[in-house]
Structure 1
Amino acid sequence: MRNGSYPPQIPYAALAYSRVHAYKGMAFSYFNGTITTLEKRYKIPTKTSGLISVGNDISTTLTCAFLGYYAGRGHRPRYIALGLFILAIFCLLMASPHFIYGAGEDALKLTHEYVNTSYFNATQEDPTLCQSRLPDCVQAASQWAPIILLFVAQFISGIGCSLFYTLGLSYMDDNSTKSKSPAMLSWSAFLRMLGPAFGYSLASVCLRFYIDPQLKPLISNEDSRWLGAWWLGWIILTIIMLISAFFLYLFPKELPSARARRLKANEADAVVHSLTELSLSDMLQSVKRLAKNKVYVYNNIASILYFFGYTPYWIFTPKYIETQYQQSASTATMATGTVALAFSAAGVLLSGYVISKYKPSARAMAAWNGIVDIFTVMGILCYVLIGCADSDKTTSMSPSTPDSCTASCHCEYVHYAPICGPDNVTYISACHAGCNSKLKDELGRLTYTGCKCIGAIDIANVTELQYARQGPCPVDCYKQFLIFLGVMCFLKFVGASGRTANLLLALRCVSSEDKSFALGLGNVIVSIVSFIPSPILFGWILDSYCVVWGKTCGSKGNCWLYDTKSLRYTINLLAAAFIFAGSFWNIGVWYHAKDLQIFDEEIKPKKDSQLELNELSSERKQN
């Protein structure tokens, strides 16, 4: 294909980087797609799952800058292969809690093979019914062990990501010409997006199977108590990571074409690179140079605020869809990972085409990043308005208070087992509806009777209304879900359209010898200020609007129902505020990027290179 055509001939380095990046994205999107199932299985509050998810960012913070500086001078493909091997260990550790602790008692009770008379037989005492005496509180097994194991797995993954991100991107850029960089970056980003798409799709498929595929469940996967085979995909991902690490290990330290270009470089550039030594003092000098680089600093601040506001959508979007629009975990995951990411891919490809064809200036790219922020804020504000009245009605119910009709039923430790009354209201359990008996029809469906809370609002028909059927009442939020999906696809498209421009600004605003270190340092800063606190903060917000906890003797467990209306307003308005603040820093990037060179045609005169050499030499002598 001729030079300047689109799509370009993607260099081997870009193909390798994109493919491996896709596998990494596949793993982390799979975790996001199964996070609600993990919360149910191990009774984890959302703030705890948010803490688990930042384990990789903590280790990235501790290792990224040093690995980017020191390993960047070594055999980068082999270091990247090591990172993939570490990610394989991460995937295996993520699956290990299932093999250690099994499917769990709550899941087993909802299968035909584990039906027992004490739980399902209508003639026996049912712990979900209104009891005249306080039931024994059985201390549940400690859930901290699987939580720690999941956190350790995430922590280990951050080391692999540090090696991969800081070295892979610089390896790809160094082994291609600058004229091909915009198109190459956009196409590689497109290929990388296939990873999250496959990751969410894999999660959707795995969650359709019951947590123990050999057993026959009594409920459908539309039931909120359904636990899918969350562990299955991690086994597949482990195998993929190991195979990828092997092939990447075979790559040379430098591709022949890149070596030829390097040998033709001018003498000044050669001397500049020769002045770089592997020492802590040189690294500190690199930090000083980057701190004085206003484009680098402002771009990082803008990214920090954007990521802080948008991180909850990356991690908790499937959970948001489940709670707000009452969709199954499989449906929520599939919508997030296929339809929405298709628009992200379109945005990346279109932006790559525009940048390759028209070669906009650095200022134009920075201006577009600011416009992307404004569009994102407007879209998130639309999320506030896209609510579902039926869902708000269902999830606004709180557990009974001491002076309510269930005060004598002792429902404190009754697990979430929803029932639907004739008034089309979903109750947390038969106990919370005040039901004292139940009947089973020929199809095995349960009908609860004597539900004193249901008839309390209609004294004339109290005896006729005091019954309920097993399962939650049907809620139709599909129309609102489609509207939300449309807005989300628009935001994915717009956000992805600025990805190539932002990456080019990050690569071109620093010198070649600082490139790997700048990426590593930027990743550290963003992790400390955004990726670590943001999931914890928004996880805490999610928990603060919980109205039904899966309470046990030892802890509150996981949340089953949320105050969806209040939650929708709080999360979206707070996220929009952070992103809006970040848009102002893009103005600073736009102002200071006027002299930034993006393409080969803009190479500075040789005397400017010599001036840069003299300044670097003088700086070194002073230190």
Structure 2
Amino acid sequence: MIGPEALMHGTEVLDKDFRAPVRLQAKELHCGLGMNGFYCKPAWLQKYATHRVFVAVLAAFGFLQGAAMGYFIATTNAVASSFGFSHDLVSWIMVSNEIAQGVLGLAISFWGGKGNRPGWIATCATFQALTCFLLLLPHLAHGTSPASTKSGESSGEHLCLSNVTVPERQSHDAYHFTLVLMFLLQLGAGLGGISVLSHGMVYVDDNVEKRDSAALIGEVIALRHLGPYMGLLLAWRCLSIYSGPLDVEPKQTSSEWVGAWWLGWPILSTLIFLVAILISMFPTQLPSQAVKEMAASIVDLARGVRIQEPTDPKESSTGFLWSLRRLLTNRIIVLNTLATVCLQTAMSNYLALEDKYLESKFYIPKPSEAAGGFQDPWTSRLIISLLKPPLVALHILVSGLAISKIKMRAGRLTGLHTFIALSTAIFMFSRIFADCHSLHIEGESEGRLQLLQTCNRQCGCADSPDFSPVCSQEGSFLFYSSCHAGCKRVQYLDDVKLFANCSCVQDALGNEKLHQAKGGPCNDPDCNFSWILNQCFTVLTAAMVGTRLVGNAILTFRSVQPKDKSLAVGLELTLVGLVAYIPGNLLYRLMADSSCMYRGVSGTEECKLHDAEKLGLYINVTSGCLMFVCALLSGAVWHFARDLDLYSDEDDGLEMADFPRRRDPKISSRHATPAVKRRKEDPVMSGEDGVTLRREVEQMRQPEEQEFRFNLMDLSDHMEDSMETSSPNRPLSLY
């Protein structure tokens, strides 16, 4: 009898002869919760088992995951200053998320892709929620101020003859305990990212029409990139709440400010856990897609079309090694993955050093770490930082919609990727010639700084202070900090810091009456124009690179067997994590260290200021070369993938090739109906052959006709769109 094997509700009796190519289990098509044979699947919940609801829930998880990442980045420096973490350690903590994806990407994507993908997403989300909540423990166990401080000024301005506040760790236990929890949180974020990209997006692609996949995937990726924006806003609100010792409350711009960095973690943890519960309710396959596959298989079986299964284990095996071998011998996948690795290595490491480069090039100090970067005296940089995530998310969303609406061909899509990579490479090279002839810092000689001079030797300046430039009032001399300028008093005038009684300014000008200085670098029209141009190009580059993400995912999914989609994403995450964030990160660190100009009095501290010409030359040339290689690899992808079909739902074959299929000999021996007559008469068959075939099919279906029709309609209640009549020439879905 023609029909699905187990496509009925559990209360109905199933005939053993009730068979079809599509083999489904009823419990896999219902929304609900349960384990060990106990399931809760209320009837009112089944109408939500649609791709639109799943995309909304998955996008919500991606948004919260991005918010957690943004909150972590914004609060890490506050945690580091409280517990005494070094800058190098903090920088490795920042990239441990991507390194975790590199280590676990292949394993998680492969095993999750073979099982219940919503269940895997929910499990990873639950683990991430748990690690977010655990980061609250250092505050509960060690109080609001685990680091004690020596007495000093509360203004945060290190003036001449002022006491310098030096943090001291009280307990090694608090240090190591917090460090372990931060790495655990990054591990949870890495697992969540793997699951969203390799399980969530593949689940969406498998359960929607191919022409709609790009738009829906674009929504998920766009909200995931918009999440850090919300995380930054949450961090700004939490860090603006003082949670340090109550006997003193410094200014928020001071390095002594202790914000409530822990306050946002229980909020994010709760929201992520709620979304994890919602994701876990979705079935292994959405009912609408199951019905479409079942109907297509029934039509093909009635027409006598049979799939000829491949006998070569290279194509048919679902094992890990065979699947990985298929990917590594797929030219499109290999070239596209290498292009992504080059792009990610260049962009991620360049952005990690961008603040240091701008600080050295334009003498613009980094934003206050204690306030998560929101106490930035440079309004233009603050505005750009806040606008970048929404603009990138908007470009991702628009690119996904454009690909779906106009059905951009693979040739044009890969050509666009090549153009973006080449444009970014040109931009990187052009930054080498940015014109900014700033004044040299007093004490600079042959690429080194000697800050201690006769005029400030008795000021008691810190051994390794952060760069905080001050300029003499007439704008001709630049000093490393107010203490090194010998300033003894400070006042604020409309958010502008004015220093007075600056002994080094008096010596430089040779006039005791001229002793004032103002905070910030000296004004230079050329530098101002270069600064604005640099910020605009930074946003434009980020937006252009963002438009590659959706097209890259679609290209990956259409270049492999459906069963290898998750592993293909995992392979990309693995190579990016292990190459871009380990050797790539070390390479950029080496370039930064080789261009260091000041490491404190002892010369062994972390670098405080770099040689702008050397650092700019190193990172711009390296990043430009990597982007140029990315453009070449993208061009090679265009050559091999320009004829790839991206939108046909009928092409579910193996890497751009279908297996041969056999028709039943009895049907094959009959005369074919002319094409014109088929269009005018019965869409299935006409003439004597059609009557004979329909009679045979009706005899086969008659014993269970009523029961089959009931169950098919019952399943169709789960469909959000009406099932279209399958074409007689529709090929069988191979997987």
TM-score by length of 2: 0.67
Contact in 2 for aligned 1:80/1:167 (Cα 8 Å): yes
* Cα separation, 2, equivalents of 1:550 and 1:41: 21
Return the letter of the residue paired with 2:409: S
- Of 245, 263, 274 in structure 1, the residue corresponding to residue 294 of structure 2 is 263
Query: 1:534: which partner in 2?
Result: 584
* Residue-by-residue CA offset, 1:39-64 (whole Å, 9 max, x unaligned): 55555555433321232233323322
Once the two structures are overlaid, the 10-residue window that deviates more, 426-435 or 74-83, is 426-435
SS, match of residue 57 in structure 2: helix
- Structure (1/2) with the larger helix percentage: 1
Change (3 A) 1:217 1:581: farther
Query: 2:233: which partner in 1?
Result: 201
* Residue-by-residue CA offset, 1:153-184 (whole Å, 9 max, x unaligned): 32343233333332112111112121211222
- Of 219, 234, 237 in structure 1, the residue corresponding to residue 265 of structure 2 is 234
Once the two structures are overlaid, the 10-residue window that deviates more, 229-238 or 383-392, is 383-392
* Residue-by-residue CA offset, 1:455-495 (whole Å, 9 max, x unaligned): 4444x43x445x56796667687765443332122213322
Query: 1:515: which partner in 2?
Result: 565
* Cα separation, 2, equivalents of 1:333 and 1:180: 37
Once the two structures are overlaid, the 10-residue window that deviates more, 212-221 or 481-490, is 212-221
Shift of 1:297: 0.4
Query: 1:252: which partner in 2?
Result: 283
Once the two structures are overlaid, the 10-residue window that deviates more, 247-256 or 377-386, is 377-386
Alignment partner of 1:71 is 2:112: yes
Query: 1:57: which partner in 2?
Result: 98
Change (3 A) 1:176 1:322: farther
* Residue-by-residue CA offset, 1:337-395 (whole Å, 9 max, x unaligned): 54123332332233234322332322221111111101212333444455765597589
Shift of 1:85: 1.6
* Cα separation, 2, equivalents of 1:563 and 1:75: 53
SS, match of residue 413 in structure 1: coil
SS, match of residue 603 in structure 1: coil
Contact in 1 for aligned 2:100/2:577 (Cα 8 Å): no
Query: 2:128: which partner in 1?
Result: 87
* Cα separation, 2, equivalents of 1:307 and 1:40: 29
Change (3 A) 1:168 1:454: same
Query: 1:293: which partner in 2?
Result: 330
* Residue-by-residue CA offset, 1:75-105 (whole Å, 9 max, x unaligned): 2212211111222233234555555474444
Change (3 A) 1:60 1:440: closer
Change (3 A) 1:536 1:321: same
Alignment partner of 1:585 is 2:633: yes
Query: 1:621: which partner in 2?
Result: none
Query: 1:161: which partner in 2?
Result: 193
Alignment of 1:134-153 (within 5 A): 145=176, 146-153=178-185
| Equivalences, count | 581
Shift of 1:530: 1.4
Query: 2:9: which partner in 1?
Result: none
Contact in 2 for aligned 1:392/1:565 (Cα 8 Å): no
* Cα separation, 1, equivalents of 2:170 and 2:591: 26
SS, match of residue 101 in structure 2: helix
Query: 2:549: which partner in 1?
Result: 499
Change (3 A) 1:352 1:432: closer
Contact in 2 for aligned 1:183/1:355 (Cα 8 Å): yes
Gaps of 5+ in 1: 1-8, 130-135, 614-623
Shift of 1:588: 1.4
- Of 584, 609, 621 in structure 2, the residue corresponding to residue 573 of structure 1 is 621
Alignment of 1:114-125 (within 5 A): none
Shift of 1:191: 3.1
SS, match of residue 600 in structure 1: coil
Alignment partner of 1:311 is 2:352: no
Shift of 1:542: 4.0
Contact in 1 for aligned 2:144/2:243 (Cα 8 Å): no
Return the letter of the residue paired with 1:174: D
- Of 38, 42, 55 in structure 2, the residue corresponding to residue 14 of structure 1 is 55
* Cα separation, 2, equivalents of 1:157 and 1:516: 18
- Of 574, 579, 582 in structure 2, the residue corresponding to residue 524 of structure 1 is 574
Query: 1:4: which partner in 2?
Result: none
Contact in 2 for aligned 1:36/1:319 (Cα 8 Å): no
Change (3 A) 1:258 1:289: same
Percent of residue pairs identical: 24
Contact in 2 for aligned 1:197/1:337 (Cα 8 Å): no
SS, match of residue 159 in structure 1: helix
* Cα separation, 1, equivalents of 2:468 and 2:480: 5
SS, match of residue 374 in structure 1: helix
* Cα separation, 1, equivalents of 2:595 and 2:120: 44
Contact in 2 for aligned 1:201/1:338 (Cα 8 Å): no
* Cα separation, 2, equivalents of 1:590 and 1:121: 60
* Cα separation, 2, equivalents of 1:39 and 1:388: 33
Return the letter of the residue paired with 2:290: R
* Cα separation, 1, equivalents of 2:185 and 2:586: 18
* Cα separation, 1, equivalents of 2:81 and 2:661: 58
* Cα separation, 2, equivalents of 1:88 and 1:183: 28
Alignment partner of 1:179 is 2:211: yes
* Residue-by-residue CA offset, 1:169-216 (whole Å, 9 max, x unaligned): 211111212121122222333333321332233344445555649787
Return the letter of the residue paired with 2:428: I
Query: 2:689: which partner in 1?
Result: none
* Cα separation, 2, equivalents of 1:310 and 1:395: 34
Alignment of 1:98-137 (within 5 A): 100=142, 102-103=144-145, 104-105=147-148, 109=152, 111=154, 126-127=162-163
Contact in 2 for aligned 1:128/1:417 (Cα 8 Å): no
Change (3 A) 1:225 1:65: same
Return the letter of the residue paired with 1:73: K
Shift of 1:72: 1.9
Contact in 1 for aligned 2:308/2:661 (Cα 8 Å): no
Return the letter of the residue paired with 2:186: Q
Gaps of 5+ in 2: 1-49, 368-372, 663-735
Contact in 1 for aligned 2:365/2:468 (Cα 8 Å): no
Higher RCO (CA 8 Å, separation ≥ 6 residues): 1
Query: 1:25: which partner in 2?
Result: 66
Return the letter of the residue paired with 1:347: H
Alignment partner of 1:190 is 2:188: no
Shift of 1:237: 2.1
TM-score by length of 1: 0.77
Query: 1:620: which partner in 2?
Result: none
* Cα separation, 2, equivalents of 1:481 and 1:490: 14
- Of 643, 651, 659 in structure 2, the residue corresponding to residue 610 of structure 1 is 659
Return the letter of the residue paired with 1:290: L
Alignment of 1:155-554 (within 5 A): 155-210=187-242, 212=244, 217-219=249-251, 221=253, 229-264=260-295, 266=297, 282-313=319-350, 315=352, 324=362, 325-326=364-365, 328=367, 329-330=373-374, 331=376, 335=383, 338-386=386-434, 393=441, 399-400=449-450, 413=463, 415-416=465-466, 420=470, 422=472, 425=477, 427-428=479-480, 432-433=484-485, 438=488, 451=503, 453-458=504-509, 460-461=510-511, 463-464=512-513, 480-549=530-599
* Cα separation, 2, equivalents of 1:428 and 1:126: 17
* Cα separation, 2, equivalents of 1:484 and 1:586: 26
Change (3 A) 1:89 1:272: farther
Return the letter of the residue paired with 1:190: A
Structure label with greater radius of gyration: 2
Return the letter of the residue paired with 2:583: P
* Cα separation, 1, equivalents of 2:598 and 2:622: 24
* Cα separation, 2, equivalents of 1:442 and 1:356: 55
Alignment partner of 1:600 is 2:639: no
* Cα separation, 2, equivalents of 1:107 and 1:595: 69
